[in-house]
Amino acid sequence: MSYSFISPRDEKELKEEISAPGSFTMSGGTDLLVKIRMGKISPQKIVSTSKISTLHFIDENDDEIVIGSTITHAELLEYKPLREAFPVLFDAIYTIGSPQIRNRGTLVGNVMNASPAGDGLLALYLLDAKIEISNGDAVNIDEFVVSPGRTILPKGEYVKSIHIPKSKWDHHYFEKVGQRNSMTISIVSIGWLIKCGSEAIENLRIAFGSVAPTILRLKDVEKFSKGKKIDEKFVHVVSDMVKERVNPIDDVRGSAQYRKKLCSNLMYRMVEEGIKC
Amino acid sequence: MKVEFKVNGKMHSVNVEPGEFLLETLRNLGYKSVKHGCDTASCGACSVQLDGKPVLSCRTFTATVNGHEIKTVEGFSKEGELSNIQRALVEEGAVQCGFCIPGLVVTADALLRENPSPTEDEIKGYLNGNLCRCTGYESQTRAILKVAKDSRGEKS
């Protein structure tokens, strides 16, 4: 383990440190340090963001919430307005790891890890979050994440914060199916947001995790659902659409075939949950 | 690099490599209650409190705890007297092989401070990062419920 560890005090110093080749930016380290232990990466330098006070904040106004890059999952769960304003994000974060992991890991770290199984990430896709980069750009989450472990973050830049626009929904849902209940990585995860009109869906957003190289929003299913009433017939049609659109692989956690079946079966939760819309 | 931090109220100043993990530092300092289990942030045997919150010492750089406060199980008993949570675990038969217990005690203590009246489900949820392969968590859950009840002054 021959790497150096540096903990800059401010963002200017951070920018200088991360421009060097072989440097990795770290906050809680709950993903990075495990990857080092498994020999997947061998950094020359680790630069910690944890002492930089300007990255540790939660701001809120009428339109959005802004989450600084060193805010941990536990801090978000403790932030009272979150559960009220973004229940789907609260539910997703609550399933991440354990209290020990949530006390160190951050939501921005979940984004930077860019895993197709990222739980917080799935909620951010549903909520149309934007990632604010240190060069001033704000990028939609589905454009920021490219493939497993890869984002468009330019070398020498860092993520300052996540912007989540406020939106009102009547129903929200998040579920992850794993090999067990605790400390698990999803075989398939699903989340949705539903706004009801008069006896029909006014607006629906739906996303799946672990079934494609990134989190998958099914925009055509969302479009199709507008104006439809949620009943068994509707769910039957949608569940077939879902099966055709997800694109999972075989891996240690489950086969592609099982994942496809799981995705379409999970759609029946809409009926089981008793959503009247 | 030089790192200064408190363990169970006692100040320590140590020289460590930048990549050294807190688990190793604590064990070198003699805090042997902190267990080396999976080393991959899965089992929770290395749990300690960092400023009162449970974290995994096997995946925490010693360098990051500079100026902070650590609590291990050694800080729970006073003059040979077990703390309430430790005594309840013994009484409920929650300790079999015992390897998970130091991590469990620091985690359960944090739970009861965050949530003095946890339900059975809340306890099991909070302990999801502390793997115990002996007990099935039944006796541990009973022990934590008992401490919670006792501290509210109710008879169990």
CATH number at residue B138: 1.10.150.120
User: Is the CB of A100 inside 8 Å of chain B's CB atoms?
Assistant: yes
Tokens of A225: 């659902």
Same domain, B59 and B96: no
Provide the strand spans (E) within A31-170: 45-48, 58-60, 64-68, 130-133, 138-140, 145-147, 150-151, 159-165
**What architecture does CATH give domain A4-165?**
2-Layer Sandwich (3.30)
Tell me, rounded to whole angstroms, the distance of Cα B73 from its chain centroid: 6
Q: Which of B59, B127, B133 would best serve as a mutation to test chain A binding (most A beta carbons within 10 A)?
A: B59
Using a CB-CB cut-off of 8 Å, the residues of chain B touching A74 are 53
**pLDDT at residue B155, rounded to an integer:** 60
- The Cα–Cα gap between A210 and A189 comes to 7
Superfamily classification of domain A171-272: CO dehydrogenase flavoprotein, C-terminal domain (3.30.390.50)
User: Is the CB of A37 inside 8 Å of chain B's CB atoms?
Assistant: yes
Q: Which one of A37, A103, A182 has the shortest CB-CB distance to B128? A: A182
Q: Is the ipTM of this complex over 0.90?
A: yes
Same domain, B18 and B65: yes
Same domain, B71 and B89: no
pLDDT digits (tens, 9 = 90+) for A12-56: 999 999 999 999 999 999 999 999 988 999 999 999 999 999 999
Query: Which residue of chain A has the CA closest to B56?
Result: A100
Q: Is the pTM of this model over 0.90?
A: yes
Inter-chain contact B64–A3, Cβ cutoff 8 Å?
A: no
Give the contacts of B8 (CB within 8 A, at least 6 positions apart).
B70, B71, B72, B74, B75
Domain count, chain B: 2
Reduced to 3 states (helix: H, G, I; strand: E, B; else coil), residue A111 is helix
Give the contacts of B122 (CB within 8 A, at least 6 positions apart).
B111, B115
Inter-chain contact B59–A37, Cβ cutoff 8 Å?
A: yes
Q: Which one of A34, A181, A182 has the shortest CB-CB distance to B59? A: A34
pLDDT digits (tens, 9 = 90+) for A128-164: 999 999 999 999 999 999 999 999 999 999 999 999 9
User: Is the CB of A104 inside 8 Å of chain B's CB atoms?
Assistant: yes
Query: Which residue of chain B has the CA closest to A2?
Result: B19
Q: Which of B49, B75, B101 is the last residue of a domain?
A: B75
Query: Counting Cβ atoms within 10 Å, is residue B153 exposed (0-12), middle (13-18) or buried (19+)?
Result: exposed
Contact criterion met (CB below 8 Å) for A110 and A149: no
Tokens of B21: 């993990």
Contact criterion met (CB below 8 Å) for A150 and A228: no
Look up the CATH number of the domain holding residue B68: 3.10.20.30
Same domain, B33 and B95: no
The owner of tokens 């809680």 is A28
Same domain, B68 and B132: no
User: Is the CB of A98 inside 8 Å of chain B's CB atoms?
Assistant: yes
- The Cα–Cα gap between A203 and A129 comes to 17
Same domain, B8 and B64: yes
pLDDT digits (tens, 9 = 90+) for A91-104: 999 999 999 999 99
The owner of tokens 């304003």 is A85
Same domain, B94 and B50: no
Query: Which residue of chain A has the CA closest to B57?
Result: A100
Domain that includes residue B21, residue range: 2-75
Same domain, B70 and B98: no
- The Cα–Cα gap between A92 and A76 comes to 11
Residue B156: inside a domain: no
Tokens of A210: 């672990």
User: Is the CB of A33 inside 8 Å of chain B's CB atoms?
Assistant: yes
- The Cα–Cα gap between A115 and A117 comes to 5
Reduced to 3 states (helix: H, G, I; strand: E, B; else coil), residue A24 is strand
User: Quick one: DSSP state of residue A154?
Assistant: P
